[in-house]
Amino acid sequence: MALSLFTRRPVVQDTATWTPDGTTVVQRYRGVVGEREGAIVLVYTADGDRGSSSFAAACLGCTFRAALNRNGSVRLSETEAADLANTHAANCRALDRGIPAAPGDDQAAKIVRDRLWGMREHGTTSPRYVFLRDFHADRVDLQRPADFIKETMLQLTQAEPDFLTAQPDSSGTGTQFLVQPHPPRARTR
């Protein structure tokens, strides 16, 4: 087999310009490790949510992901996400690992299910509403648009109705998802 002198190599994306599918990257910070450039830390929001106040930060060198404030109770504004990203970039010693491999559909669906499972609180008796912004911290790992998340949740409502349910949105133009609480434990004597 003869190789052409002009064979093109696949284009390797640069983390300094990469945008995960389903997001809009608004800022990037680069860490420094000794004399070398460190990992990129992204500040992003979901596609179409640029005007909202829900942002996240993620490092492409380590496992740092942030979509809530330090107390874990308030969604991040762009300024807050940028502050966290800048602080992380200044202190992280990870080298750039490159663009994370996009998971297969089954693995991406598992990421969605795991996030929903984490939202299922013990001791609560009320369903919890699910919003697309609940997946902000996962977007770099998911690398999927909002439609994938919605479709995965629709499939879960059919496969596990005791876990996730759907109802028409109050605006009448969509579907609202609800994570159901854990079933009450049977009392033993």
Give the model confidence (pLDDT) of 87-129 as tens digits: 999 999 999 888 989 999 999 999 999 999 999 876 678 999 9
Distance in angstroms (rounded) separating the CA atoms of residues 163 and 25: 32
Domain shared by 136 and 161, yes or no = yes
Domain shared by 78 and 126, yes or no = no
User: Of all residues in the chain, what percent carry a pLDDT higher than 90?
Assistant: 59
- Checking if the pLDDT of 185 tops 90, the result is no
Closest CA to 85 of 19, 18, 26: 26
Please give the residue range of the domain that contains residue 149: 105-179
Bigger pLDDT: 33 vs 66: 66
Q: Let me know the angle formed at the C-alpha of 75 by 124 and 28, rounded to the nearest 5 degrees.
A: 140
- Checking if the pLDDT of 36 tops 60, the result is yes
Return the pLDDT at 17: 92
| Cα–chain center distance at 96 | 19
Other Cβ atoms less than 10 A from the Cβ of 178: the count is 16
In a domain, 18, yes or no: no
Return the pLDDT at 82: 96
Domain shared by 137 and 173, yes or no = yes
Domain final residue pick, 66, 91, 116: 91
Predicted model pTM: 0.82
In a domain, 12, yes or no: no
Bigger pLDDT: 92 vs 185: 92
Return the pLDDT at 35: 82
Beta strands, E only, 99-163 = 128-130
Provide the pairing of β-strand 128-130 with 164-168: unpaired
Bigger pLDDT: 102 vs 7: 102
Query: What would the two tokens of residue 78 be?
Result: 């762009």
Residue type, 104: G
